[in-house]
Chain A
Amino acid sequence: MLFQPINRNYHDFSIVRDKDLCINCKVCVRQCSYEAHYWDETRKKVMHDNSKCVGCHRCEALCPTAALLIQKKRSDFKDNALWRPEFIKYIYKQADTGGVLLTGMGSPVNIPIYWDKLLLDASQVTNPSIDPLREPMELKTFLGSKPSKLEFSKTKDGSPKLKTKLAPQIELNYPLMFSAMSFGSINFNLHIAMARAATELGICYNTGEGGLHKSLYKYGKNTIVQVASGRFGVHRDFLNAGAGIEIKVGQGAKPGIGGHLPGEKINEMVSETRMVPLGSDAISPAPHHDIYSIEDLHQLIFALKEASEYRVPVSVKIAAVHNVAAIASGIVRAGADIVAIDGVRGGTGAAPGMIRDNVGIPIELALAAVDQRLRDEGIRNRASVVAAGGMRCSADVVKAIALGADACYIATSALLAVGCTLCAKCYTGKCPWGIATNDARLAKRQNPDVAAKKMVNLVHAWGHEIEEMLGGMGLNSIESLRGNRDKLRAVGLMDTEMDILGVKHAGR
């Protein structure tokens, strides 16, 4: 085996096949889109190539005799706190190809997760807790600009009537939405599933930047349509199809980097919806080249408001970066009704690894800073704040709302709900779970009905848990938790961190 690249045997996973259990049925061969399993005609048995395994666990899950085990590759490099194995492997790969390291999903890097250092309060003795199983509990959330004061007039019979004209709002039954995942990055089956799940739940899903297929317009009441720099599938009907419009400026997984849907994922239907040639790359660069200032952003926000005749709120989504609070202030002043902030742990279909793992800041700090800044400037009411980027469970959502979020975007957790195993190879277009692929053979592994049901189940479960946590704190409405940082205490954080988060240490 001469002339092998140096990294030929430094792959991430090993396939362990139990010879006694394996019946050579070839299910693994059919299931593995990376061709790690194959039929060896000479030996008349199923064999495998460890170097091709991405660790998606599809074969393991579907093996009828449970003969397969996917393990981390056991060959360890010599211990070195600086030159950890991933860096060694990166260099081997780049020396072979000269390529930029490409990754998928959110960053696996050990950046502090503040959710784990924040604990929630509960009532004891006084201000008794509320049992949501038997008492009313309000999770209803309205996203959009709120007036700074309300004016009333009196009708003939003396009852008050609201005089103030309210700005358009997005009404949600849960403080949750399915975050932007474009048609193209994930396939049509999952777009139908998200649309149906959002409709059943009374929440919204976000189209992402790939446009909206005609057949999904009927779910418009539960849809937020997204406009990014590439403007794929953006036209007047699209802008008027949803309950809100979002301008995507940035994404937590790749701040300062644009979208790039590889040609492998541009099939007929994606080509039609995006209006880009079949098999070519769909490029949407980091900057909108018509936005170089807050004034320019104002121009696009109002171009969209004009196009939708001021019927729906306009959101601006940015990545959480160093000056996020000042940027958010500018966005609100530019006329946005919603500011969506995506933290450094947010997912993606494709991002350069160096960017994903090194650029941006955690959502917890960004969210607290933005909420505080908008309050200090007296403009917090002018826009809702949506937090995104690695919300793993309902407690993360509750903590985000206590830090000042009006609602949270979830995406990675929605994909996990339909079977994603975070192998992080979304950019190859070969997702064996039928999620991040437009290959019809793979995409049919996702049944839209089943996928919608799983997403609905997830949000129902989180909703119950949120109600339990609220009730425990003696609150009967999510509104009473918004920006209520007194319900949070920190464990093991430094003064600076607690200062930014606006929380006290546990015990105080």
Chain B
Amino acid sequence: MSKKVTIDAKGVYYRQLNEQIREAIAAGATEFVLKNVNSQRYIAGAVDGHVKFDLDGVPGQDLGSFMRGPYVRVRANAQDGVGNTMDDGLIVIEGLAGDVVGYAMRGGRIFIKGDVGYRVGIHMKAYMEKLPTIVIGGKAGDFLGEYMAGGILLLLGMFSDKPSEPIAGRSLGTGMHGGVIYVRGTVPQEQIGPGLTAQPVDEADLAVIQGIVKDYAKELKLDAKAIMAESFVKIRPFSHRPYGNLYVPA
């Protein structure tokens, strides 16, 4: 049975807010509506299980850090560190998000409608059924998917406030040794990290993209067909040991 709790976060310090949320969850709450959120950090941080969060306002750093299972919807922009080391669940950002979204993400999904900052999706990991996925509707800053060891990054470049910028910043995927980055349309070679190239997608890739786009469009009330109307390219690691030949035993 779902139990809904509404909290007015106006002027509430993050520690009190998160404490209040934890206590409510312990008392059986399964759904939160947070009104007037204004930069409080760590909301939904380390929350376990199928708890719903509906955020009105801009949450602070590290939204959903370490969380395992919750569904978080932000009806505005988000700051840095969204989904830091997130384990499972879904975060939907109806606006844009800052730097290091999904740092070392281990599972679950993050759907962002607009642009994102630097170093998004770095150190993403995957194991067996755990396949973290980030979809960026706008454009991305430098070092998207750096050190990526697993998971899926899907960059659409469609809903951007930066018309003159390239779809991804420089050093896209640099140091990646697992996972895949899909880009809608094309990405200039000079933006891609050393040793990597954008390759055409195959049937299997398209099926994966289609599945993700379907959910993404539904969550953000977008037209999946319009998203799929363009071609895609993929960037995969050139080696699972990109620095394997760097050393000599002293």
Which residues of A approach B to under 8 Å, CB–CB? 90, 93-94, 96-103, 229-232, 234-236, 239, 260, 262-263, 271-272, 274-277, 279-285, 289-290, 299, 302-303, 306-309, 352-353, 425, 427-428
A499 vs chain B, min Cβ distance (A): 36
Main secondary structure of the interface of A (DSSP, over half): mixed
Besides A234-B104, A279-B240, A282-B149, 7 other CB < 8 A contacts? Answer: A93-B248, A230-B123, A236-B87, A275-B125, A281-B177, A299-B61, A309-B22
Binary interface encoding of chain B residues 119-154 relative to chain A, with 1 for a CB under 8 A from any of its CBs, else 0: 100110111001000000000000100110110000
Among the listed stretches B41-49, B159-167, B183-191, B207-215, which one makes contact with chain A, having 4 or more residues with CB under 8 Å of it? Answer: B41-49
Stretch from B30-38, B62-70, B192-200, B226-234 forming part of the interface with A: B62-70
Task: Assess the A97–B248 pair: CB atoms within 8 A.
Answer: yes
A98 to B246 Cα, complex, angstroms: 8
Q: Which residue of A lies closest to B69 (CB)?
A: A236
Q: Is the CB of B240 within 8 A of A283?
A: no
Q: Which residues of B contact A276 (CB under 8 A)?
A: 125, 149-150, 177-178
Is residue B81 within 8 Å, beta carbon to beta carbon, of the partner chain?
A: yes
Q: Is B66 a contact partner of A307 (Cβ separation < 8 A)?
A: yes
B81 and A290 within 8 A (CB): yes
How far apart are the CA atoms of A360 and B85 in the complex, in Å?
30
- List chain B residues, Cβ under 8 A from A309: 22
Known: A99-B245, A100-B246. A290 touches B84 (CB 8 A): yes
Q: Which residues of B contact A353 (CB under 8 A)?
A: 250
Q: Which residues in B have their C-beta under 8 angstroms from that of A272?
A: 127
Residues B45 and A303 in contact, CB atoms below 8 Å apart: yes
- Residues on A with C-beta less than 8 A from B41 are 299, 302-303, 306
Total residues of chain B contacting the partner, CB 8 A:
50
Tally of A-B Cβ pairs under 8 angstroms: 142
**Is B66 touching A239 in the complex (CB atoms < 8 A)?**
yes
Is there contact, CB below 8 Å, between B126 and A283? no
Report B188 CB to chain A, min CB distance, Å.
Answer: 23
Of the candidates A102, A280, A302, which one forms a contact with B247 in the assembled complex, judged by CB atoms under 8 Å apart? A102
**Contact A280:B87 (CB < 8 A) given known A100-B246, A230-B123:** no
Residues 79-96 of B at the A interface (beta carbon under 8 Å)? 80-81, 84-85, 87
**Is A289 a contact of B126 with CB atoms below 8 Å?**
no
Complex CA–CA separation, A231 to B105 (angstroms): 9
Give B contacts to A, CB under 8 Å: 15, 18, 22, 41-42, 45-46, 48, 61-62, 65-68, 80-81, 84-85, 87, 99-100, 103-104, 106, 119, 122-123, 125-127, 130, 143, 146-147, 149-150, 175, 177-178, 240-250
- Which one, B65, B244, B250, contacts A103 given CB within 8 A? B250
> Is B42 in contact with A303, judged by CB distance below 8 angstroms?
yes
Pairs A–B under 8 Å by Cβ, sample size 9: A231-B104, A263-B244, A275-B125, A275-B126, A276-B177, A280-B178, A283-B149, A290-B99, A307-B45
Q: Given the complex, which residues of B lie within 8 Å of A102, measured CB to CB?
A: 247-250
A236-B178 CB under 8 A given contacts A99-B247, A275-B149, A306-B45: no
Instruction: Known A239-B66, A303-B65; judge A101-B247 contact (CB<8 A).
Output: yes
Docked-complex contact A283 and B175, CB < 8 angstroms? yes
Taken together as a complex, chains A and B put the C-alpha atoms of A206 and B179 apart, in Å, by: 30
- What residues of chain A lie closer than 8 Å to B123, measured between beta carbons? 229-231, 284
**Contact residue among A229, A277, A289, A303 (Cβ-Cβ distance under 8 Å from B62):** A303
Bound Cα distance from A443 to B246, whole angstroms: 27
Please name all residues of chain B whose beta carbon is closer than 8 Å to the beta carbon of A260 when the two chains form the complex: 243
